[in-house]
């Protein structure tokens, strides 16, 4: 009876999830002491033989329980069959094989791997979730993760677009979506105030992607969103318990909020919680509303517009609150797809809206694309904007941001692509290049008249035809270098272009683009760190004639598109904003930017050509990376901003803010042309 009682107690402790090993060891120690001092045991246990048998039983039980830890066998008292951590049976593993409907839906007992490959995704929504999870863990950029998924699974463009749209929103609007999660959960502390819902990263990602679908995929019914989220919760979030929580939380959303009467909607959807108003905001029915904080305090703006408080404060200080709000709103919109022609005054593509509809109905539209034909960014833009019936397929950009205005027109045709079919045709045409309009516009202004400026002294020598030596230091994927080549080729001078980047993978990307446009033999490629690349390094990787000229004279133009905060392109790069949580990261970037400028001036820029220029470019709109860096370079490196004599003597220093230009099609960015200060004796 006593042995049965002891065994029952051990079994209860094991089943209750207690520390079984501690219990056994403690009992063994107590029994061993009891052998020496019978007074420490109750009366029934004072028999010496019984104490020895009990001690032996405990030691045997301990040994039996330790055996599975070394053999990987299931412990008989473990009904879920948990394996000791680090031990897996041979063959397929749960994280390598997607869970099917016939498998257990409770995933809480199996470890989720830190990195989940894109090949595991079985649907666009799962791909979006895994991309968000990888970005959250700093394992991959969303665009790269989804590009890998599209290469492996070859989904249709609509599926790529859905995955990209949901993943970008879930990452970009993380703060506002988290606020909505807290509000929907209705978590309150004992004092009636708000308390945060404790969720793991993989659980929060499930809810963010579900709310992103609800907000922007307005044609998707709520039950479908909930069902998808529940399946993801079972698979990745921890099992049935979290799946039930997910289901209950998402069922609080209105299935069709746009059908509510406006006054009733305002009355029903306004909540007061700990002194703050929760309002549901949308834009003319284009999105479904979610709870958001009201007011224009920096804290409310950081949550409602989903920005780190540090970045909100920096933008408000630099641009003022009203302008900063406009910039942040513009950066929360996925920019449209743009294309430029490679020759001046090219005719805009002609493809009527009726033709687009006909081709889509015949299977030439959204379902025709493969991963090679369409990037995730293009697909997302086409899903959210381009597939609206009755919209023109092409819109030529005639309204430029103020910074890009000049007496001369752009040296190419630039336009917004509104058709999935037209986009495919342009990607297959070597006369057009899919581009971001802002860097293309900045380079166009820097390059216009550059041959005349830079070769001013050499042009006077009739005995020789000078060649413009150009280096693009951080060239991948090749769009900037290609734009420079196209523009300078039209200025009557021969151009020798070298495109460089830091590793072989980026060099391969550049080579792929050059091959597509037939420039593999015209442009030379090198590999090297821009902060230490020397003229000799370039000479050793290029042909002997070009290398000897470069090693002796250096470059007439050095294009320096430096690593930056991406504060001007947050609509395209959703992860970028969350790196700006404090000033530490910015200071590191500014240090890198200055070192690149210093090395370009000291080592790469021609010392024999006093008109040689550095074209400094960023995708940022922050003063420290843009105007502040130029001021520092002028003060400490002896540089000056180049003046455009053909444009009323204006300095070649330009900043474009997000949301400018044709219907807000342009991102933010900065460009400036620098050269060494003229000697007072010259």
Catalytic positions: 619
Place of tokens 């053999």: 71
Nearest to 332 by CA among 488, 192, 473, 170: 170
Element (H, E) at 151: helix 142-153
147 marked as part of a ligand binding site: no
Using CA atoms, how far apart are residues 636 and 556, in angstroms rounded to an integer?
Answer: 21
Specify the 3-state DSSP secondary structure of 641: strand
User: Is 49 labelled as part of a ligand binding site?
Assistant: no
CA dist 379 and 382 (Å) reads: 5
Which residues pair with residue 432 across a beta bridge? Answer: 341
SS3 of residue 212 by DSSP: helix
Residue 606 is classified by DSSP as -
Answer yes or no: is 474 a known binding residue: yes
Whole-angstrom distance, CA of residue 499 vs CA of residue 526: 6
682 burial level (CB within 10 Å; 0-12, 13-18, 19+):
exposed
CB 315 within 8 A of CB 324: yes
Q: Is 477 annotated as a binding residue?
A: yes
Is residue 28 a known part of a binding site?
no
Q: How many Å apart are CA 566 and CA 491, to the nearest integer?
A: 32
- Residue 529, annotated as binding a ligand: yes
Q: Give every strand in the sheet of 276-280, ordered side by side.
A: 271-273, 276-280, 291-293
479 in a labelled binding site: yes
Backbone angles phi, psi at 234, to 5 degrees: -65, -40
Q: Known binder of ligand: residue 171?
A: no
How far, in Å, are 103, 293, 397 from residue 131 at the CA level? 24, 28, 33
Extract the tokens encoding 666.
């342009």
Sign of CA dihedral 88, 94, 96, 102: positive
Query: Rounded CA gap, 470 and 419, in Å?
Result: 36
Helix (H) or strand (E) holding 232, with range, is helix 222-232
Beta carbons within 8 Å of 639's beta carbon, 6+ residues apart: 601, 614, 633, 674, 675, 676, 677
Whether the CB-CB separation of 261 and 273 falls below 8 Å is answered with: no
Measure the CA angle with vertex 342, ends 339 and 347; round to 5°.
Answer: 75
C-alpha count within 13 angstroms, C-beta hemisphere, residue 230? 16
Q: Does residue 480 have a known ligand-binding role?
A: yes
CB neighbours of residue 125 within 10 Å: 26
Distance CA 430, CA 425 (A): 10
Buried b (16+ CB within 10 A) or exposed e, 249-283: bbeebbeebeebeeeebeeebeeebeebebbbeee
Q: Is 582 annotated as a binding residue?
A: no
Q: How far apart are CA 601 and CA 660, in angstroms?
A: 32
Q: Where are the alpha helices (DSSP H) in 575-646?
A: 583-599, 627-636
Closest CA to 556 of 458, 442, 414, 465: 458
Question: How far apart are the C-alpha atoms of 107 and 235, rounded to whole Å?
Answer: 6
CA-based nearest residue to 439, from 431, 430, 429, 447: 447
Contact 433, 478 (CB under 8 A): no
Residue list for the binding site for S-adenosyl-L-methionine: 474-480, 501, 529, 561
Residue list for the binding site: 474-480, 501, 529, 561
């Amino acid at each position: 009876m006593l042995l049965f009682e002891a065994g029952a107690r051990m079994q209860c402790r094991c089943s209750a999830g207690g520390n079984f090993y501690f219990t056994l060891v403690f009992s063994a120690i107590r029994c061993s002491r009891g052998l020496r001092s019978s007074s420490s045991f109750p009366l029934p246990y004072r028999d010496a033989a019984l104490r020895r048998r009990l001690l032996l039983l405990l030691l045997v039980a301990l040994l039996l329980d330790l055996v599975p830890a070394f053999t990987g066998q299931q412990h008989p008292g473990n009904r879920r069959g948990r394996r000791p951590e680090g031990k897996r049976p041979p063959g397929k593993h749960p994280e390598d094989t997607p869970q099917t409907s016939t498998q257990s839906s409770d995933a809480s007992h199996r470890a989720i791997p830190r990195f989940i490959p894109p090949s595991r995704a079985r649907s666009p929504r799962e791909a979006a979730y895994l991309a968000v999870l990888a970005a959250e863990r700093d394992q991959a950029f969303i665009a790269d993760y989804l590009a890998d998924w599209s290469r492996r699974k070859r989904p249709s463009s609509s599926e790529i677009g859905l995955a990209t749209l949901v993943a970008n929103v879930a990452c970009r609007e993380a703060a506002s979506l988290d606020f909505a999660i807290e509000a929907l959960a209705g978590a309150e502390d004992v004092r009636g105030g708000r308390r945060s819902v404790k969720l793991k990263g993989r659980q929060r990602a499930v809810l963010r992607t579900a709310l992103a679908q609800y907000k922007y995929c307005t044609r998707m019914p709520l039950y479908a969103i909930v069902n998808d989220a529940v399946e993801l919760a079972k698979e990745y979030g921890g099992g049935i318990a979290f799946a039930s929580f997910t289901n209950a939380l998402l069922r609080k959303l209105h299935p069709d909020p746009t059908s509510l009467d406006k006054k009733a909607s305002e009355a029903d959807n306004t909540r007061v919680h700990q002194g703050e108003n929760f309002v549901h905001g949308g834009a003319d029915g284009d999105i479904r509303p979610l709870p958001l904080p009201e007011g224009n305090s920096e804290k409310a703006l950081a949550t409602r517009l989903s920005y780190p408080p540090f970045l909100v404060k920096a933008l408000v200080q630099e641009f003022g609150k009203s302008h900063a709000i406009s910039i942040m709103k513009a950066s929360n919109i996925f920019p449209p797809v743009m294309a430029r022609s490679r020759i001046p005054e090219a005719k805009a593509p002609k493809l009527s809206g009726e033709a687009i509809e006909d081709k889509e109905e015949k299977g030439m539209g959204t379902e025709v694309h493969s991963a090679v034909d369409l990037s995730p960014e293009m697909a997302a833009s086409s899903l959210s904007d381009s597939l609206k019936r009755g919209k023109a397929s092409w819109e030529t950009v005639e309204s430029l941001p103020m910074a890009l205005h000049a007496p001369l027109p752009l040296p190419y045709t630039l336009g917004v692509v509104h058709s999935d079919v037209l986009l495919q045709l342009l990607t297959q045409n070597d006369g057009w290049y899919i581009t971001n309009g802002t860097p293309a516009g900045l380079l166009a202004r820097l390059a216009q008249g550059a041959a005349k400026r830079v070769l001013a002294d050499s042009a006077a020598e009739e005995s020789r035809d000078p060649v413009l030596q150009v280096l693009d230091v951080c060239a991948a994927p090749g769009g900037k270098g290609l734009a420079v080549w196209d523009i300078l080729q039209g200025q009557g001078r021969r151009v020798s272009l070298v495109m460089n980047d830091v590793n072989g993978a980026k060099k391969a990307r550049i080579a792929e683009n050059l091959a597509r446009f037939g420039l593999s033999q015209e442009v030379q490629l090198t590999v090297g760190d821009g902060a230490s690349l020397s003229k000799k390094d370039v000479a050793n990787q290029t042909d002997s004639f070009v290398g000897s000229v470069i090693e002796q004279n250096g470059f007439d133009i050095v294009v320096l598109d430096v690593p930056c905060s991406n504060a001007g392109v947050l609509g395209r790069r959703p992860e970028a904003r969350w790196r700006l949580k404090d000033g530490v990261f910015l200071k590191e970037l500014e240090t890198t930017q200055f070192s690149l400028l210093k090395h370009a001036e000291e080592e790469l820029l021609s010392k024999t050509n006093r008109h040689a220029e550095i074209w400094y470019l960023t995708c940022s709109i922050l003063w420290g990376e843009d105007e502040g860096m130029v001021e520092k370079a002028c003060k400490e490196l002896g540089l000056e901003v180049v003046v455009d004599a053909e444009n009323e003597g204006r300095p070649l220093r330009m900043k474009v803010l997000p949301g400018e230009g044709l219907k807000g099609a342009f991102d933010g960015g900065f460009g400036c042309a620098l050269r060494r200060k003229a000697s007072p004796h010259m």
